[in-house]
């Protein structure tokens, strides 16, 4: 459903004189176009004739041609629009009564404000029509309404261009101040030493992809990170689980933390082992005291963004985790209009913008395509990402989990080996990190370094 085209004839907010002044000013001084184009688009003009004129002005400027009465009239005639805008006489009349170099800043503000009022009225009209139709839930309509209002409010925002010297003078008045801030700006610890060394931790504003084939340990790794951040570092972690329930995640997290075999817990065998029960109880207390927040209800990327913005305002948090990308919900209408690539790209873009807006890292779990199953070497590559182009484009870090034992289960030597492959990092190195996998606990950890063992024994 498209936003209704509310015309001037309907008595809607408009400033026709302001529009004429802007267009006439551009004809007198083409520099005025640069100022106007920074804030205005053709559809910000209320009259169809003014929209057509501004669009043709844009095309002339883009092709590095001067914009005057002659060139503009010629361009409109070539597009067979000259009569629709009132002819050459109307174009010439736009400059009447204007000074040679008029100041149009206030006119731009007025025209933009009137345009926004019209758009808001159109958005609300659409929402009313959808609500009256009763074909969607109130939540779906409300989320769509919020997204459209936000998009309308942020369109045509003022330029944030700033001379670097002015920026540095405010933010980093000396080289030492920049060095000092860099030393203090390490990201959140994940609990995995080499990953933290390569990435400087999970950085604010980063979209971090952890991808793998099913049963490789995506959720386990994400929960290991969440548990470490929340319990060891006292960070606040928000998790949207689209695959597992809260109960399932918490059972896994507590068993992993307490190193209680998950199968013994599931089967009830744990109850017969005093030590297991004690370990489980201790881990339960640690997890229950932590600041982990979980939502296991199906949501769209927009709904998650709305929820996290509200949570961030009321109760600050440090990192968000989503499990996983292709389980994100979509409204029926957008799904009909977009293919899978567009849906994935749209969701990744929303989450990347959200990470930057909230100033938090977002870990997004993804599924890999079946194509790698056809290869002898099953180690994932960037091309194995489903709809890989869009994910790779928006992500700051793309990483893969690989366990060779999954493909060769009879080889006992491979049982505890795992690899965390950093295939893309926007601001750092790529490479493979060796991990220790404990399947009975659903837990990844750093492999034991012989030097650490030697140091440990040297204490005795």
Q: How many domains does the chain have?
A: 2
Same domain for 235 and 137:
no
Residues 232 and 328 in one domain: yes
Spatial separation of the C-alpha atoms in residues 456 and 460, rounded to whole Å: 8
Whether residues 342 and 211 fall in one domain: yes
CB 42 within 8 A of CB 155: no
Q: What is the pLDDT of residue 338?
A: 54
Catalytic one among 38, 59, 171, 243? 243
Let me know whether 128 and 215 are in one domain: no
| CA angle (170 as vertex; 166, 171 as ends), nearest 5 | 115
Is 156 within the bounds of a domain? no
pLDDT by 10s per residue, the chain, length 460: 444 444 444 578 999 999 999 999 999 988 889 888 888 989 999 999 999 999 999 999 888 889 999 999 999 999 999 999 999 999 999 999 888 777 888 999 999 999 999 999 999 999 999 999 988 888 778 877 877 887 777 665 555 566 777 767 777 788 877 777 665 557 899 999 999 999 999 999 999 999 999 989 999 999 999 999 999 999 999 999 998 999 999 999 999 999 999 999 999 899 899 999 999 999 999 999 999 999 998 888 888 988 898 888 788 899 999 998 888 887 644 444 456 777 788 888 889 989 998 999 999 999 998 888 888 899 999 988 866 677 888 999 999 999 999 999 899 889 999 999 999 999 999 999 999 999 999 999 999 765 554 544 343 3
- Give the other-Cβ count within 10 Å of 328's Cβ: 24
Residue 254 in domain:
no
Residue 217 lies in a domain: yes
**Are 326 and 396 contained in the same domain?**
yes
Would you call 440 a catalytic residue per the annotation? Answer: no
> Is 215 found in the same domain as 143?
no
In this predicted structure, what is the pLDDT of residue 186?
A: 73
Last residue of a domain, one of 149, 164, 188: 149
Task: For tokens 């203090």, name the residue.
Answer: 184
Residue 8: predicted pLDDT: 46
Q: Mark out the alpha helices in 134-192 (DSSP H runs).
A: 138-154, 164-171, 175-184
Looking at the structure, do residues 105 and 220 belong to the same domain, yes or no? no
Determine the length of the chain: 460
CATH number, domain of 219, equals 3.40.50.300
| Boundary of a domain, candidates 115, 149, 183 | 149
The DSSP annotation for 297-313 comes to: S--BHHHHHHHHHHHHH
Among 105, 130, 149, give the residue marking a domain's end: 149
CATH number at residue 97: 1.10.860.10
| Same domain, yes or no: 228 and 294 | yes
State which residues form the domain around 338: 201-241+289-457
Query: Up-side HSE of residue 118: CA atoms within 13 Å toward CB?
Result: 23
Q: Are residues 215 and 355 in the same domain?
A: yes
Long-range contacts, 6-9 (Cβ 8 Å, 24+): 6/118, 6/121, 6/122, 6/125, 7/46, 8/46, 8/47
Phi/psi at 320 (5° precision): -120, 145
Q: Taking a C-beta distance cutoff of 8 angstroms, is the pair 419, 379 a contact? A: yes
CA neighbor of 414 nearest in space, from 361, 390, 389, 378: 378
CA distance 175 to 379: 43
Domain annotation covers residue 330: yes
Query: Do residue 224 and residue 131 come from a single domain?
Result: no
Rounded CA gap, 246 and 429, in Å?
35
Both 418 and 306 in one domain: the answer is yes
* 419 found inside a domain: yes
Q: 291-295 and 319-323: which strand pairing?
A: unpaired
Contact 364, 324 (CB under 8 A): yes
In a domain, 196, yes or no: no
Flag whether 363 is in a domain.
yes
Helix (H, G, I), strand (E, B) or coil at 13: coil
Residues 333, 428 share a domain: yes
pLDDT score recorded for residue 181: 64
Q: What is the pLDDT of residue 158?
A: 56
Residue 413 within any structural domain of the chain = yes
């Amino acid at each position: 459903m498209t936003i209704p085209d509310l015309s001037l004839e309907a008595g809607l907010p408009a400033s026709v004189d302001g529009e004429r002044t802007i267009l006439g000013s551009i004809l007198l001084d083409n520099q005025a176009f640069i100022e106007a184009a920074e804030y205005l688009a053709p559809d910000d003009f209320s009259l169809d004739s003014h929209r057509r004129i501004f669009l043709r002005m844009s095309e002339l400027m883009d092709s590095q041609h001067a914009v005057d009465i002659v060139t503009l009239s010629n361009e409109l005639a070539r597009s067979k629009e000259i009569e629709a805008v009132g002819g050459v006489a109307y174009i010439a009349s736009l400059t009447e009564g204007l000074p040679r170099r008029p100041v149009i800043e206030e006119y731009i503000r007025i025209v933009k404000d009137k345009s926004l009022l019209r758009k808001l009225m159109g958005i609300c009209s659409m929402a009313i029509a959808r609500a009256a139709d009763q074909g969607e839930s109130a939540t779906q309509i409300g989320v769509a309404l919020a997204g459209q209002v936000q998009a309308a409010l942020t369109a045509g925002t003022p330029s944030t261009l700033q001379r670097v010297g002015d920026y540095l003078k405010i933010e980093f008045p000396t080289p030492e101040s920049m060095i000092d801030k860099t030393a203090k700006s390490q990201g959140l610890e994940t609990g995995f030493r080499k990953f933290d060394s390569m990435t400087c931790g999970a950085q604010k504003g980063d979209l971090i992809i952890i991808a793998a084939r099913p049963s490789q340990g995506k959720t386990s790794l994400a929960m290991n990170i969440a548990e470490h951040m929340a319990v060891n570092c006292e960070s606040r972690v928000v998790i949207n689980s689209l695959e597992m329930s809260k109960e399932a995640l918490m059972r896994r997290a507590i068993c992993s933390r307490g190193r209680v075999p998950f199968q013994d817990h599931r089967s009830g065998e744990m109850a017969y082992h005093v030590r297991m029960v004690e370990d489980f109880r201790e881990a339960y207390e640690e997890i229950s005291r932590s600041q982990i927040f979980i939502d296991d209800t199906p949501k769209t990327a927009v709904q998650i963004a709305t929820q996290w913005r509200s949570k961030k305002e009321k109760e600050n948090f440090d990192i968000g985790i989503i499990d996983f990308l292709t389980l994100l919900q979509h409204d029926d209408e957008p799904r009909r209009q977009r293919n899978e690539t567009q849906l994935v790209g749209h969701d990744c873009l929303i989450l990347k913008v959200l990470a930057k807006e909230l100033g938090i890292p977002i870990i997004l779990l993804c599924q890999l395509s079946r194509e790698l199953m056809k290869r002898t070497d099953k180690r994932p590559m960037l091309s194995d990402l489903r709809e890989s182009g869009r994910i790779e484009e928006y992500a700051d870090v793309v990483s893969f989990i690989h366990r060779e034992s999954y493909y060769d289960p009879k080889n006992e030597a491979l049982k505890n080996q795992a690899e965390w492959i950093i295939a893309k990092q926007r601001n750092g190195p790529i490479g493979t990190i060796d991990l220790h996998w404990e399947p009975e606990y659903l837990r990844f950890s750093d492999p034991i370094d012989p030097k650490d063992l030697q140091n440990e024994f040297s204490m005795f």
